[in-house]
């Protein structure tokens, strides 16, 4: 009924560490979303969407490096009947962040605790971000947009319980416009293309 999805985990020496059959634990009608979780675990958001696209259900399963189930949220508490997932990430405190749109095109970030409780919903009032970047003090969002002359630019905003959006956002240097990967570590935002890694 559902597509076959597996996670293959390898060491830096390309030795196979584990193979996780997601259908056995967390079947999904769409490509599951994977996020790095605390203690070197892997969090997987699986989506079940009915054939009429009128309702979406999700579960979050956390696996350790051996492919064993550490914890599971059987049903994500979506607060909208229809929710289109755009991105998924986890922070070091055991919270999960789901970026998505409801059927009226309202974009928001749903925050779910490790116990499966809805902690907050942060509305995104400006541009729709491409990705979320977890940090110790909240969630940063990255949005690729254009300036008045049509040139691409990357904007990093901040979302937290006390502040829905960082006012203007931080415009990143031109290098970040074409990065294939962007992440936050410590006080820096890192971006990489095929040959270079830069910090800002």
User: DSSP of 139-165, one letter per residue?
Assistant: EEEEEEEE-TTS-EEEEEEEE-SS-SS
Task: Tell me the range of 9-18, 47-56, 70-79 where mean pLDDT is highest.
Answer: 70-79
Share of the chain above pLDDT 70, in %: 88
The mean pLDDT of the chain is: 84
Exposed/middle/buried for residue 173 (C-beta within 10 Å: 0-12, 13-18, 19+) = exposed
Q: What mean pLDDT is predicted for residues 59-78?
A: 92
Winning range, highest mean pLDDT, from 104-113, 134-143, 189-198: 189-198
CA–CA separation, 134 vs 194, rounded Å?
23
Give strand pairing partners of 189: 184
**Could you tell me how far CA 131 lies from the centroid of its own chain?**
7
Pairing of strands 16-21, 6-10: antiparallel
Q: Average pLDDT in the 147-153 region?
A: 77
Q: Which residue has the higher pLDDT, 155 or 183?
A: 183
Residues 104-129 pLDDT 10s: 778 888 999 999 999 988 887 766 77
Question: Lowest-confidence range among 3-7, 21-25, 141-145, 189-193?
Answer: 141-145
Q: What is the mean pLDDT of residues 132-156?
A: 79
163 — pLDDT class (breaks 50, 70, 90): low
Q: Are 17 and 7 in contact (CB under 8 A)?
A: no
How many residues are listed for the chain in this entry? 200
The CA distance from 119 to 80, in Å, is 15
What is the rounded average pLDDT of the residues 36-40? 86
CB 134 within 8 A of CB 97: yes
Q: With bands split at pLDDT 50, 70 and 90, how would you rate the model's confidence at 98?
A: very high
Residue 98 bridge partners (DSSP) = 88, 110
């Amino acid at each position: 009924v559902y597509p076959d999805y597996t996670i293959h985990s390898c060491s830096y020496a390309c030795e196979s560490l584990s193979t996780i059959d997601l259908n056995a634990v967390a079947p999904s009608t769409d490509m599951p979303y994977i996020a790095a979780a605390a203690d070197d675990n892997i969090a997987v958001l699986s989506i079940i969407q009915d054939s009429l696209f009128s309702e979406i259900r999700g579960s979050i399963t956390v696996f350790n490096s051996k492919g064993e189930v550490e914890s599971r949220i059987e049903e994500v508490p979506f607060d909208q009947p229809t929710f289109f997932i755009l991105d998924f990430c986890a922070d070091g405190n055991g919270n999960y962040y789901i970026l998505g749109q409801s059927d009226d095109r309202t974009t928001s970030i749903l925050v779910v605790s490790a116990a499966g409780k809805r902690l907050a919903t942060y509305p995104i009032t400006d541009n729709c971000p491409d990705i979320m970047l977890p940090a110790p003090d909240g969630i940063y969002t990255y949005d690729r947009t254009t300036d008045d002359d049509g040139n691409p630019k990357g904007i990093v905003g901040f979302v937290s319980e006390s502040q829905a959006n960082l006012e203007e956002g931080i415009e990143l240097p031109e290098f970040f416009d074409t990065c294939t990967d962007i992440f936050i570590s410590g006080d820096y935002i890192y971006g990489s293309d095929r040959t270079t890694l830069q910090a800002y």
